[in-house]
Structure formats: C-alpha cells, structure tokens
Structure 1
Amino acid sequence: MMYPETNFNYDNNNENKGNRKQRRQNKSRRNLHKAAAVLAGVAVIGGSFWGGSLLTQNTENTVQAASTMNLSKDETTPDIVASSLTDYSDLAAQCLPQVVSVTNVIEVTSTSNGGSDLFNFFYGNGQNQNQTSTQESEAYGSGVIIGKTEDELLIVTNNHVAVYDKSGNTMYYSYTASTKERKVTFVDGTEVEANLKGADSDADIAVLAVKLSDIPEDTLNAISVATIDNSDDVKVGQGVMAIGNALGLGQTTTFGHVSALNKDVTTSDDNVTRSMMQIDAAINAGNSGGGLFDANGHLIGINSAKSSGEGVEGMGYAIPISSVEDLINNMMNQKTKVQIDEDQRGYLGIQGVDVPTEYVQRFGMPEGAMVTKITEGSPASDAGLQLNDIITAVDGQKVSSFETLRSALSYYAAGESVTITVQRPNGNQYTETQITVTLADRSTITDTTEADTEEGSSEAETQEPQVQMQKAQ
C-alpha cells in the first residue's frame, strides 16, 4: 500500500530522555490529527508494483424498462444489540454472501529511452534504440453487492480498486499502466468477469456490473444483495464488522467499534481529503471497497483507507454510505461500459496535457485535460472544441487529467456521440460549455500522431431500468 505522509521535526539541541519521550508523544499526536491515510489497496502482484506505486511514482446489456427498484426494508433481520454480542458467527454468515473479492488486471507498457547508453547496455542488447515491453500485474480489492436487474448484478467498490490509469517518465524509460480486465470472486469461490458502470475519483466510489448469465445458478443461490442503513444515525462506540479481501487471500471478517465520525482524511495516494468514519476494526491491504456492517447486518460504509506509521494502531476509515448514496444510485443506472476491439475505437483527434495541481491551487484553473492541439477536420474540430479548452467530464464522468480522459473515452466506439464538458477561458475566468462530439475512426483522422493520443472502446447504447440500493427502514 502507499506510504503515508510523514512530518519530520529536526532539533539540533541536546535533550534528556524525558524530553525525547515527550517530543515523540507530541509528534505522534500531530501526525494523528493530520490523519494522513493510505488507501487500503493490496500490493499489485507482478511487475515493479507495491500497493499502487509504479517504481517511484504514486501511482473498470440490454434490458426492458422496468419500475424503479427502491431501497426496501429487510423485515427478517433480527434486532441485534452490538454490546451484547459474544458470538458473531450469525452476523458473519448473513453478510459474507454480500461481499466479493475484486481482481484488477493491469497492463503495463514501458518504453526505454533510446538515448540512454547505460540503460541500453544492460537492457537494450547494446543497441541505442527505443524498446517497448508489455507485462501484466494484478491488484486486489473488495466490493459489495448492492443491486440486481433483470440482466446484471451490481457491485459497489472504491474507484482506486476498479480503475487504474497511470503514466510517467524516468531518465531511462516511460510507462503507461491501465486496467485491462476486472474479475470478481463470490463467497463460494466462483470467479466471473466484471465491467465498469460508473466511477468517481473524488468520492473514490465505483460501481461494477456482472452479467447474470455468467453466474452459475448455485452461486446465485449462495449470494445476496446488501441492505443499506442510514449512516447519519451511526454513533461513536457502535459495534461494526468489516469484511474484505485482506491481502488478496480471500474474504475475512474483523470486528470493532466506530471510533469517530466526520474525520477529514487525506489519502497519500491521491492527496484528496474526504469525510470518513474512523473505526478500530482491522483494515488491511485488499480491504478497500469492502463492506462495513452494523450489528443488524446493514451496510453503513465502504472500507477505504487506514492510517499507517510508527505508533499508529487501529485507525481504519470507511466512507459513510449515506454520503454517497445518490452517487451510487446514479452510477447503477449508467450504461455498462464494455471494451471492444481496437479497430472499432473512436477518437476525438486532439493532443492535450494535464492542468498542473499547482495551477489549480494558485490560479484557480479548472482541474482536467487542457487541449493543446486539434487535428483539422477531426471530430473535435468539427464540434467546435478550441485550443486551451479544459475538458472536465465525458458524459458526466469526471476528467481530472489527460489519462482519465483517455480512460473515459475508452468506452466509446467510432460513430458514437459523447457529451464533452469543457471549461473555456473567458477573460479572467472560465465558462462551462457542453459540446456533443461524434467520435471517428482513426483512419479518418489525417494526423495519425494526434489520433494516437486517444484510445477508446464501447458497446451500443442501451436502455436500462432505474435501479437503486436496497434500504433498511
């Protein structure tokens, strides 16, 4: 997992043992208040990965229209008092079928920089030329079953579990790493392919979909849909159970209490601050995306992060389910995104760069992908996209960088139309504009260099029923 941010205090003065002890205590308190947490993702197996880091870089159907599926009350759930529990086996048996393990298969492509004699001496067969290699790695996380339609089973997880898109450069090579495939494993050990339905990096929430036709009947009988409860009613000291794919070794349960509410937690992987519940139930690598359940077996949070460092124990964090309920319900009703063959992918025909975080913070520029070049006659040109436009969303899915733009467009085929949200410079401010673009085949875009800056995939547009999470009342 990612290493947490650490504050170092340097003091050149001599001090006695008691002062050193007091300084360590004060330092520990400061670090705890900072709550710099690590995303609870597991180590990526294969390649040069550890917990979402790539080397030194900080580094996812057609149905008939139906009536809305509301969050319904579970009348059969016993009213268990957490403080009186001495045997959690019934609670675990109730909730384990609602949790899945998630495997993210990541494809890593690295290209050596041909100008490096040292690198080529060791890795390039002595030839001064660029060389490209591709390998696969696997990252592990968890998810919770939160809905079912006529054709799909829907699973909520963390964005950092479901979506992986990174790139970078070093002195000797450049690389890209992105999700190639997603798989989920149910409580009975059955593994099936999953596709991305929606994702939000700011909220760190994503929804996956699994085709019911891919799930054996015995497995369907062994699993169940989670019932959510109002996390706004959760109290400090309340008993909780966390379930997840700890260390990628399969489902485990841990028990504890709610330690604090509304904690502002900044995760070191993405440097985003979120309001979370703090719990003392053990949260380990691989627990990300798993469920936090109350004593009645109702889902009240999504396990997401933990504090890590010297002197830190029992500080896990979960996203309160009620804070993301509307977002999840929206994602559940989005079109399922399925990759298609490369020769069918659609392209905008642009080049772009990330808006630096420093510019966002210092100058108030929008976060997104800035357009730096537009191919003449391309879909982007025809639709009216302009230089210096900052693309912030594709069909409502947030774009925070050029890599996330590529990822968002990776679910659309040539000939499909997408709505691009852009922030356009207007004097000293930016004006938001919606632009509809019909993507084109790469061969129709004359500047192949620009066309190669975007890769995409999709399936035909479908109509899906409105579906929502099942809710306790």
Structure 2
Amino acid sequence: MKTKICSVVLSVCLLFGCLGALSSCDKGGNADLVNAEINENGELVLTFGDGTEKNLGVVVGKDGKDGADGANGENGQNGASGGDGYIHITTDESAISLATAKGLRSAVSIVANFEATVQQGGWYPGYGSTTTEEYSFKGSGVIYRMDKNTGDAFVITNYHVVYDESSNSESGISEDIEVYLYGSEIEEKTIKATYVGGSMYYDIAVLHIENSDILKDSDACATDISDSDTVSVGDSAIAIGNAKGYGISASLGIVSVDSEHLTMLAVDGKTAVSFRVMRVDTAINSGNSGGGLYDENGTLIGIVNAKIIDDGVENIGYAIPSNVAVAITENIIDHCYGKDETSVQRAMLGLTVTSSDSRALYDPQSGKITLKETVSVYEVAADSLASGVLQKEDVLVSITLDGKTTQITRQHQIIERMLDARVGDTVTIALIRGGTNMTIDITITQDSVASY
C-alpha cells in the first residue's frame, strides 16, 4: 500500500476495493542462553533460562588439548587444522536480527510526485476555475541490481506506487520519482530515479538509478534472492518497507499460505486482475507497497503488494513471490530498458492446464511439508504454439528453457516460466502421453508474445 501526501495532510490512498496496497505477529523465540561450558568429555553444553540443556557434542581434541599442538587436534570438531575449534551460536532472535540487517541494505523508500489539475467552483466542466495540485505517493522498493562503482541500480517496486490515473501525466506514471536508502531518508540524500517499465496486471514496476554518488558512498547492496517455490507454510516472513510513510521499518511474521491467487481491481479502478501471491500474517501497512519480504536468512522471498482491510480481519497480507517478481523484472529490463516498450512481454503457448491428485508431502530431512499436484493439459487453443504439438490430457512433467529445467509440480510453474521466454527461444517440455514418456520442442515466435 502506498501513502499519499497532499499539502501537509497525510492520508492512506489507493486501496483495491477492500484490498489495499500493502503487510507481524511477534514471533516468540527460544529461552535466553544463560550458560555455556565444556564438560569432562569435551562436549559443549548450553543451558537456557527455562532450565533446558542442549549438548552440541565434542568441540575439543580427545586428549583435552583442544588442537593446540596440531596432532592432538585431529579429533576435535573444527580443530582439524591444528587451530582451536570454535562454534558460533545464534538464537532465533539474533538470526532474525541479522536477516533484517541484511534486508535493510537493499531496502529503499520511494516518493512518487504528481501534479493534477483540479476544478474549483462551477457545476459543469469549463466553468469555475482550475488549480494545479501537487501531491505524492509514498511506497517502498528493493535494490535488484547495483553497480557500486558507477552508482547505477535497478529497483523493484509496485506499479501502483508510481501510477495515478488522475494525474496530469499522459501515461499516469510519475515523472518525478525519488529514492531514499535506509538511514538516509532526508532531503539532501535524495536519489533521483526514472521509470523503466512495468505491468498493471502483475503490479510490478522497475526503476533505474544512474551515477548516484550516494549509492557509491553507501553500504547499500543488491538483494539476495531465494527460490520462492521452496517457501513453506510457517517459514519466517520479514517485511521491510516505508510503513505509513514514516521511514523504513521491519515487521516479523510467518508465511500463512505459500501460493494462492488474488483477484482484485487494478490501480486504474476498472481493470480486473488476478495474480499469484503468498499470504503472510506479517504486519503490512500503508507505505509497505513494493517493499521486500525476506526469510530468516535475509534473502528475498517476495514483494509486498496488498493487505485485506476489514474490521473483522487482522494480519492478512500478500506478497508477489520472488520467482514471479524476478521473472517480471528481467522481462522489463530486457524489453524496456533503453527502448520504447514499457510493458511486460509474455510468450503464450496457448494452453489451459488443470491439476489433479493434489497432496502434501513431508520431507524428513528438511522437516517441511510441500504441496504437489499432477498438472495436465485441459485445452489447446487453435492456431497457437501448442496446437498440433500438445494434446488434451498430456501430463506435464518438466519444462526446460535457456538451460534451466523446472519440474512441474504446481500449475503456476509452466505459466510463469513463459515470462522467461524470448522470441527465438526453444522450450522443451517433458510429458507423459497415454503412459508413454516423451519430449516436445516449441520455438517462441513474435506472434505468440502479448503485452501485460
């Protein structure tokens, strides 16, 4: 959700019906560590405030010399080189703190400035007088790429943070965009950014910063990105953004649903859009729109974009999964940066897919539960790329594009991989037809590409 400033009045603006652009429950950690000592067997034993103990095993050489002379250190954990062995202990709280600090380095606040002509007086257009109103939307963003030497960067944000249909801008996109790093949210630290391209349909926009001395002299960096398909319900979700337009802050919660579809009115107030999101119970407020959602390692798992606003609902927020956000961002950079195009160009196979045998699978190694389903072809559009190549009831196993193979275990995977496809690319699909394994190749043509 972005925040709008008109004159000196702060107000929340642009909620999509009951859904707004953006989204913590406090997450309890382990009891405090109160003591750590090595027992007579050379084992490190931790004692916590609630009286529980945890034995981390042998941390010194078997003869107790802790590897000081090299030879006797061979059996000491982390002492194989002859040096003393050390183990770094972190609690849940310190891990979250480190993850947040990492996320803050790639977090930015965004101010999109607009002008709009407002009629004053008169009952009909053309009567009375007009005045020009200046106002701003406040939101958040994430540094996606950055060259510290040149001071250049690409920033991901939400489309609705930089767009207002009622503004005087012909495209509705702000022509005066400001970016601020964490800890430098003051006027003299303003970084000017330009709009590269975006998608109202996906609610993603990409900004470009060029030759910024502030970036060159900062500790800011591009975000590390996680594979959002590996995110599970219950994983930590840290939202970092410009909440309420008060400056960059962080909130903590968990992933409530790893993947679902959200249908709402787009920022223009008239176009219905449906996109895939993950649901979180992390506190998301006005101004968090476009900010990063990070895991317990401080790597990006999503871009915050909406929350439910209702008196009977608390802590239901949404984020665009990182795999989707990254694919869209790369698509925009490839098609729009330095070019006349300003929208996402997505290749269309001409398929309608369906799923069956949806199931939850437990992984004893990771301790996580993941959802999987069998994805098959429901319909093939006439005169499409898939026409005459794929058939109804083909079971889709994997898709390979540009050397990367994705196992198809959820419906969204084959659709979203097409965001990575470019004209001339060959897509290889492994499938099962009538019990027989086979592969087919499809070449992407210009006619198959549509703007989103």
Scaled to the shorter chain, the TM-score interval is: 0.5 to 0.7
- Report the Cα distance in structure 2 between the residues aligned to 1:134 and 1:81, rounded to whole angstroms: 59
Report the 3-state secondary structure (helix = DSSP H, G, I; strand = E; otherwise coil) of the residue aligned with 2:104: helix
- Report the Cα distance in structure 2 between the residues aligned to 1:194 and 1:287, rounded to whole angstroms: 19
Partner of residue 382, structure 1: none
Structure 2 residue 224 is matched with structure 1 residue 260:
no
Partner of residue 190, structure 2: 191
C-alpha spacing 1:213/1:130, structure 2 compared with 1 (3 Å): same
Task: Give the aligned residue type for 2:183.
Answer: D
Partner of residue 233, structure 2: 236
1:22-421 paired onto structure 2 within 5 Å: 40-46=1-7, 50-53=11-14, 85-87=92-94, 88-112=96-120, 114=122, 116=124, 129-149=127-147, 150=150, 152-166=152-166, 179-189=174-184, 190-215=189-214, 217-219=216-218, 222-268=219-265, 269=267, 270=269, 271-334=272-335, 336=337, 395=341, 397=343
Q: Give RMSD over aligned pairs.
A: 3.7
- How far 1:50 moved relative to its partner? 4.5
- How far 1:137 moved relative to its partner? 0.5
C-alpha spacing 1:81/1:284, structure 2 compared with 1 (3 Å): farther
- CA deviations 1:265-314 (Å, max 9, x no partner) are 23355442221100011000000000001111110100010011111011
Report the 3-state secondary structure (helix = DSSP H, G, I; strand = E; otherwise coil) of the residue aligned with 2:5: coil
TM-score between both structures, scaled by the size of structure 2: 0.52
Q: Is the 8 A contact 1:307 1:316 kept in 2?
A: yes
Q: Is the 8 A contact 1:110 1:176 kept in 2?
A: no
C-alpha spacing 1:81/1:46, structure 2 compared with 1 (3 Å): farther
Task: Give the aligned residue type for 2:317.
Answer: G
Report the 3-state secondary structure (helix = DSSP H, G, I; strand = E; otherwise coil) of the residue aligned with 1:326: helix
Task: Give the aligned residue type for 2:5.
Answer: V
Report the 3-state secondary structure (helix = DSSP H, G, I; strand = E; otherwise coil) of the residue aligned with 2:175: strand
Task: Give the aligned residue type for 1:209.
Answer: H
Task: Give the aligned residue type for 2:156.
Answer: V
- CA deviations 1:307-354 (Å, max 9, x no partner) are 11111011010000112322211223455579xxxxxxxxxxxxxxxx
Structure possessing the higher radius of gyration over alpha carbons: 2
Q: In proportion to residue count, which structure has more strand?
A: 2
- CA deviations 1:400-455 (Å, max 9, x no partner) are xxxxxxxxxxxxxxxxxxxxxxxxxxxxxxxxxxxxxxxxxxxxxxxxxxxxxxxx
- How far 1:45 moved relative to its partner? 3.4
Q: Is the 8 A contact 1:198 1:207 kept in 2?
A: yes
C-alpha spacing 1:397/1:244, structure 2 compared with 1 (3 Å): same
State how many pairs are aligned: 267
Partner of residue 375, structure 2: none
Unaligned runs of 5+ in 2: 21-87, 346-452
Q: Is the 8 A contact 1:81 1:295 kept in 2?
A: no
Report the 3-state secondary structure (helix = DSSP H, G, I; strand = E; otherwise coil) of the residue aligned with 1:196: strand
Report the 3-state secondary structure (helix = DSSP H, G, I; strand = E; otherwise coil) of the residue aligned with 2:100: helix
C-alpha spacing 1:90/1:337, structure 2 compared with 1 (3 Å): same
Q: Is the 8 A contact 2:109 2:181 kept in 1?
A: yes
- CA deviations 1:164-206 (Å, max 9, x no partner) are 23369xxxxxx99762310000013132111011111100001
- Report the Cα distance in structure 2 between the residues aligned to 1:337 and 1:215, rounded to whole angstroms: 23
- Report the Cα distance in structure 1 between the residues aligned to 2:300 and 2:308, rounded to whole angstroms: 22
Report the 3-state secondary structure (helix = DSSP H, G, I; strand = E; otherwise coil) of the residue aligned with 1:179: coil
Report the 3-state secondary structure (helix = DSSP H, G, I; strand = E; otherwise coil) of the residue aligned with 2:285: coil
Q: Is the 8 A contact 1:290 1:302 kept in 2?
A: yes
C-alpha spacing 1:48/1:113, structure 2 compared with 1 (3 Å): farther
Task: Give the aligned residue type for 2:207.
Answer: L
Partner of residue 409, structure 2: none
- Report the Cα distance in structure 2 between the residues aligned to 1:193 and 1:161, rounded to whole angstroms: 15
Higher relative contact order (CA 8 A, sep 6+): 1
Task: Give the aligned residue type for 2:341.
Answer: D
Q: In proportion to residue count, which structure has more helix?
A: 1
- How far 1:135 moved relative to its partner? 1.5
Report the 3-state secondary structure (helix = DSSP H, G, I; strand = E; otherwise coil) of the residue aligned with 1:331: helix
Report the 3-state secondary structure (helix = DSSP H, G, I; strand = E; otherwise coil) of the residue aligned with 2:276: strand
Report the 3-state secondary structure (helix = DSSP H, G, I; strand = E; otherwise coil) of the residue aligned with 2:325: helix
- Report the Cα distance in structure 2 between the residues aligned to 1:176 and 1:255, rounded to whole angstroms: 36
Task: Give the aligned residue type for 1:163.
Answer: Y
Q: Is the 8 A contact 1:107 1:178 kept in 2?
A: no
C-alpha spacing 1:94/1:395, structure 2 compared with 1 (3 Å): closer
- Report the Cα distance in structure 2 between the residues aligned to 1:164 and 1:396, rounded to whole angstroms: 16
Task: Give the aligned residue type for 1:326.
Answer: A
Runs of 4+ aligned structure 1 residues displaced above 6 Å come to: none
